[in-house]
C-alpha cells in the first residue's frame, strides 16, 4: 500500500459520494474491508462479499472494530452471486476487475443484481495507463501478482460499455499505478 496507495484517499472520497444515501448496497470482493468501512456509514444496509474465508474473517474483524452494525458479510464469488435480480441500489466492485479471469461474466452478474436506476461503482487499477504503471505492473507480474488484464482508462470504459453499462462519471486518479474511478448505471 505504501507504493500503490497514493490514489486511495481521493478514490475513497469518490466512493463515499457515489454511495451516499443508498438503501441497499452490495460490495463484491470486499477483501479486508478497506472500502467497506467507508461505504457502510453512508448506506442503510451493506452486503459485503468475498470468496475467501480468510478475507471474510479479516473483513468481519474490521467491521466489528468500527462498530458497523449494518454490514452482513457472506461468502460469494463474483461470477455467481446468490441474490435476486435487481436487488441492490448500489454495487461496488473496488479494485477487482483487473483480477477476474472472466470479466464479461462477472460484469453481467453485477449488472443483473443492480436495480434499473442503480449505481455501479468500479474504482480500478489501470496498469497500462502510464509508462511508469506499465513498468511497475510488469515487475509485479514477475513476483506473482495475479492480474488478469492491464486496463487503461479507455479500455476499462470500453469493457463496461460492452457489458451494457452507461458510464456517468470517470476520473483518473494519479499514482504509481493510477486508479480510474468509474460510476455507471445499467
- DSSP track, 115-132: EEEEEEE--EE-TTSSHH
In terms of C-beta density within 10 A (0-12 exposed, 13-18 middle, 19 or more buried), how is residue 180 classed?
Answer: buried
Cell reading at 143: 513476483
Q: Is it the case that residue 180 has pLDDT exceeding 70?
A: yes
Q: What is the per-residue pLDDT for 150?
A: 77
Cell reading at 151: 486496463
Torsion of CA 111, 125, 40, 170, to 10 degrees: -70
Q: What is the per-residue pLDDT for 135?
A: 77
Q: What is the per-residue pLDDT for 80?
A: 94
φ and ψ at residue 86, rounded to 5 degrees: 55, 45
Q: Under CATH, what is the fold of the domain 8-185?
A: Rossmann fold (3.40.50)
Q: Which residue has the higher pLDDT, 10 or 143?
A: 10
Q: Is it the case that residue 15 has pLDDT exceeding 90?
A: yes
Give this prediction's pTM. 0.91
76: which residues sit within 8 A by CB, 6+ positions away?
28, 49, 50, 51, 82
For all residues of the chain together, what is the average pLDDT?
91
What's the helix, strand, coil split of the chain in %, to 5? 35, 25, 40
- In the chain, domain spans: 8-185
| Interval 43-94: pLDDT, tens | 999 999 999 999 999 999 999 999 999 999 999 999 999 999 999 999 999 9
Task: Identify the band that residue 7 occupies on the pLDDT scale cut at 50, 70 and 90.
Answer: confident
Residues 89-106 have a mean pLDDT of 95
Amino acid at each position: 500500500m505504501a507504493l500503490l496507495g497514493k490514489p486511495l484517499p481521493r478514490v475513497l472520497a469518490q466512493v463515499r459520494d457515489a454511495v451516499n444515501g443508498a438503501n441497499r448496497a452490495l460490495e463484491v470482493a470486499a477483501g479486508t474491508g478497506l472500502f467497506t468501512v467507508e461505504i457502510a456509514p453512508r448506506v442503510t444496509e451493506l452486503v459485503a462479499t468475498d470468496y475467501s474465508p480468510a478475507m471474510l474473517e479479516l473483513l468481519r474483524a474490521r467491521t466489528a472494530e468500527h462498530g458497523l452494525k449494518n454490514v452482513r458479510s457472506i461468502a460469494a464469488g463474483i461470477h455467481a452471486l446468490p441474490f435476486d435480480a435487481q436487488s441492490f441500489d448500489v454495487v461496488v466492485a473496488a479494485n477487482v476487475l483487473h483480477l477476474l479471469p472472466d470479466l464479461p461474466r462477472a460484469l453481467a452478474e453485477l449488472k443483473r443484481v443492480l436495480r434499473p436506476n442503480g449505481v455501479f461503482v468500479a474504482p480500478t487499477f489501470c496498469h497500462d495507463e502510464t509508462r511508469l504503471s506499465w513498468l511497475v505492473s510488469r515487475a509485479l507480474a514477475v513476483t506473482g501478482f495475479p492480474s488478469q488484464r492491464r486496463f487503461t482508462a479507455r479500455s476499462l470504459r470500453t469493457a463496461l460499455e460492452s457489458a451494457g453499462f452507461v458510464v456517468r462519471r470517470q476520473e483518473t486518479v494519479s499514482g504509481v499505478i493510477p486508479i480510474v474511478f468509474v460510476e455507471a448505471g445499467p
